[in-house]
Amino acid sequence: MNKTISDIAQMAGVAKSTVSRYLNGGSVSVKTKQKLERITREAGYVPNTFAQSLKAKRTNLIGTIVPRLDSFAAAQTMTGIDEEIRAAGGQMLIYNAGQDRERELEAMQELARQKVAGIILMPARVTPEHLRIAEAAGIPVLLVGQGSDKLHSVIYDDHRAGLLMGRYVLEQGHRRIAYLGVTEEDEAVGRQRKAGFAQAVQECAGCEVFYYESSFKIADARLIAERILEECSPTLIVCATDNIALGVVKAAHIHGLSIPHELSITGFGGYEVTEIIHPTLTTVRFPYFEAGKLAARLVQRLAAGEEVEWQTILDVELLRQESVDNLNIRSL
Amino acid sequence: MNKTISDIAQMAGVAKSTVSRYLNGGSVSVKTKQKLERITREAGYVPNTFAQSLKAKRTNLIGTIVPRLDSFAAAQTMTGIDEEIRAAGGQMLIYNAGQDRERELEAMQELARQKVAGIILMPARVTPEHLRIAEAAGIPVLLVGQGSDKLHSVIYDDHRAGLLMGRYVLEQGHRRIAYLGVTEEDEAVGRQRKAGFAQAVQECAGCEVFYYESSFKIADARLIAERILEECSPTLIVCATDNIALGVVKAAHIHGLSIPHELSITGFGGYEVTEIIHPTLTTVRFPYFEAGKLAARLVQRLAAGEEVEWQTILDVELLRQESVDNLNIRSL
DNA sequence: AATGCAATCGGAACCGGTTCCAAATCGATC
DNA sequence: GATCGATTTGGAACCGGTTCCGATTGCATT
């Protein structure tokens, strides 16, 4: 049913090499060019991608491995990647790892099998296994969100994000603070953000901080928040992600605590929802979309054999909104 | 650098047809089986997908065309599709149409070119162009969210959703209501939901309803909400999507209106955020995830040449939450 | 009209698999 | 040890393109 290049060649009475040359802009006489134009159009000819890739030994696909599809950060990053790749005439193949390291590794191998031009990976943690597979794959692998000294990466300044947030809330007069973080297995979110925050705390005398840990899920965060409220009744809870902050907001509502007067809350991420809820959530904006665009550009340059910067650190921005009370004013 | 089947054959001292047979579970003696097992492992052989697909003339890819990547509904649906396809050993290729009909059509053609096994399409509207391309593509196309008498589809009971919501809010005593909908070009969201709601209104005497229209964007909804509040000061605003409802919630906060006592608000969708915000949003839950799973199953069966039900209507569920005031109690 | 050069074209090989068919091998039986 | 049938194997064709190379054609020049 679908026409092949040989069919076209036969219909036009030329060799298939001529048809191929016509299709790829090789030297073809005006006469045959016109004839082939007509025939390919009438026959509705579309070249077979596999045959092309088989010969070319490559594709214009960029594989993207995301931890999950239904997260704001992942969605924004994917949108950025997609926009950039499409502009360059390529395509994005999305692989959902479902927050499972095994599947992340499988995905890399599978994408390598499919000879994608490059892989963009958003891992929770970079393990030696990742490096091994990336090396064996023989195609460029670029990390987003987590750095590595062995792979190219686009990362956020998580340390500075923590520092900015820490300094800001201390400025606002908070001295009894709970930090609700995530596992330290996550270098960027788990360690760096916390480290930045801890540095800010160190710069300030007489501040008591209680560290807690949650998963990335809203429901989990909410449960831990209840424990925090019982155990140490802080004036503020700094949450490692906006989603965690949403869980804490929920817990505060349930406890009947008004935000920010009875409990201040902050997040990290800059999710759209932070501006929608009331009060709006003070957070640090991470440029997910821009990271996606940049990652796509870089991985395409890598695929083309160019040298690119080893690591790009994207800047973050503190968004001062309504969920943090200014204790200085109140105590006047 | 990458080994081919011929390399393996040479190393093992057999014909490449034997290697192929070994790989695909054909009849091979125990001895050569063991030898090939060892050699393929040591050589790290991985078959070339293109060569396989070229011969097989098909892939195990399912193409998914979404209107946008950063929407709750799309993310949930994609997650469902992905889960189901992965379980069947297939893969999902995501195409982001960016809410642009032209790109939707392009995507269909491009996916057809790549000989995907089937296409899952989430269109805002089904046009004759869609049907034409779907027909020409020669591969199964399944719609999610919008129906058509020419294509297989998985849809939601939008009419019933509107009806349920309408009846519920009328039960709660609301008689001065604004309905903030979307363009009627969108058959499901724009027409059916509104029609269901309108039917409920018809069943009830003495109810005044004001119809407005917004885009799907939170920011737009917020602007229109301000106009609604000025123009007709309803006791309740029924919004065609949860995102629109979020925009209205925002506007209400800005106007200092307390929800639900001074203004009740409802949405449609059942986005996660509706349970997080305070007050929680009364809405109708749409089974996006289940729709994705079902769509994936169906499109795979279609790809296998099986007959499947032409249209599946998934049921919706009213979620009574806190954003609707019960006027009956108040007026006692 | 013969010559030379560039533009155009056809044929064949190749990419890396799968599959068909015929040939070779094997073990069991007589 | 010859015969038979079942297994196993090798060879070749094929999928649908691209590309190399040599042959043909066209055109301008002498």
**Residues whose CB is less than 8 angstroms from the CB of residue A156 and which lie 6 or more positions away in sequence, other chains included:** A145, A188, A286, A287, A291, A313, A314, A316
Quick one: pLDDT at residue A305? 85
Same domain, B326 and B186: yes
Q: Which structural domain, as residue segments, surrounds residue A203?
A: 158-286+318-331
Q: Does B116 map to a domain?
A: yes
Quick one: pLDDT at residue B220? 96
Q: Does B53 map to a domain?
A: no
Residues of B in contact with A96 (CB under 8 A): 78-79, 82, 86, 92
> What residues of chain A, 173 to 232, have a C-beta less than 8 Å from chain B?
218
Same domain, B169 and B145: no
Return d(Cα B41, Cα A246) in angstroms, integer: 49
Considering only CA atoms, give the Rg of chain B.
26
Q: How far is the CA of B169 from the C1' of C5 (A)?
A: 87
Q: Is the CB of A2 under 7 A from strand C?
A: no
Distance from CA of B102 to the nearest CA of A (A): 14
Same domain, A72 and A127: yes
Distance from CA of A203 to the nearest CA of B (A): 35
pLDDT digit string, tens, across residues A18-43: 999 999 887 888 888 888 999 998 88
Q: Does B54 map to a domain?
A: no
Q: Does A213 map to a domain?
A: yes
- Interval A92-110 mean pLDDT: 90
Counting Cα atoms < 13 Å in the Cβ hemisphere of B282 gives: 25
Domain count, chain B: 3
Same domain, B169 and B282: yes
Same domain, A327 and A209: yes
pLDDT digit string, tens, across residues B221-263: 999 999 999 999 999 999 999 999 999 999 999 999 999 999 9
Nucleotide nearest to B36 (CA to C1'): D9
Quick one: pLDDT at residue A331? 52
Residue nearest to nucleotide D25 (CA to C1'): A29
Strand B317-319, strand B283-285: pairing: antiparallel
Asked if A250 and A218 touch (Cβ cutoff 8 Å), the reply is: yes
Same domain, A202 and A166: yes
Q: How far is the CA of A263 from the C1' of C18 (A)?
A: 67
> What residues of chain A, 235 to 294, have a C-beta less than 8 Å from chain B?
246-247, 249-250, 253, 272-273, 276-278
Quick one: pLDDT at residue B49? 87
Q: Does A205 map to a domain?
A: yes
Quote the mean pLDDT of chain A. 92
Quick one: pLDDT at residue A330? 56
Q: Check which CATH number belongs to the domain holding A28 and give it.
A: 1.10.260.40
Q: How far is the CA of A20 from the C1' of C16 (A)?
A: 20
Quick one: pLDDT at residue A59? 84
Nucleotide nearest to B16 (CA to C1'): D10
Q: Does B226 map to a domain?
A: yes
pLDDT digit string, tens, across residues A234-248: 999 999 999 999 999
Same domain, A131 and A42: no
Quick one: pLDDT at residue B295? 98
Return d(Cα A264, Cα A259) in angstroms, integer: 6
* A50 in B contact zone (CB under 8 Å): yes
What tokens were used for B128? 């004759």
Same domain, B187 and B66: no
Distance from CA of B68 to the nearest CA of A (A): 8
* B46 in A contact zone (CB under 8 Å): yes
In chain A, pLDDT over 70 holds for what percent of residues? 99
pLDDT digit string, tens, across residues A42-87: 888 888 888 998 888 888 889 999 999 989 999 999 999 999 998 8
Q: Check which CATH number belongs to the domain holding B138 and give it.
A: 3.40.50.2300
Q: Does B241 map to a domain?
A: yes
- Interval A273-285 mean pLDDT: 94
Same domain, B325 and B239: yes
Quick one: pLDDT at residue B46? 86
Asked if B231 and B204 touch (Cβ cutoff 8 Å), the reply is: no
Quick one: pLDDT at residue B30? 87
Return d(Cα B127, Cα B148) in angstroms, integer: 9
Return d(Cα B87, Cα B81) in angstroms, integer: 10
Quick one: pLDDT at residue B205? 87
Quick one: pLDDT at residue A1? 65
Quick one: pLDDT at residue B331? 52
Q: Output B184-189 pairs: Cβ under 8 A, ≥24 positions apart.
A: B185/B124, B185/B125, B186/B124, B186/B125, B186/B146, B187/B125, B187/B126, B187/B146, B187/B147, B188/B145, B188/B146, B188/B147, B188/B155, B188/B156, B188/B158, B189/B158, B189/B240, B189/B241, B189/B268
CB B138 to CB A1 under 8 A? yes
Same domain, A177 and A265: yes
Same domain, A181 and A146: no
Nucleic acid strand C: bases within 7 A of protein CB: 7-12, 14-20
Residue nearest to nucleotide C6 (CA to C1'): A27
Q: Is the CB of A54 under 7 A from strand C?
A: yes
Per-position DSSP letters for B73-84, written without gaps between them:
HHHHHHHHHHHH
pLDDT digit string, tens, across residues B123-161: 988 999 999 999 888 889 999 999 999 999 999 999 999
- Position with higher pLDDT, A154 vs A13: A154
Task: Give every residue of chain B whose pLDDT is below 50, as ranges.
Answer: none
Quick one: pLDDT at residue B305? 85
Nucleic acid strand D: bases within 7 A of protein CB: 7-12, 14-20
Q: Does A52 map to a domain?
A: no
Same domain, A162 and A274: yes
Quote the mean pLDDT of chain B. 92
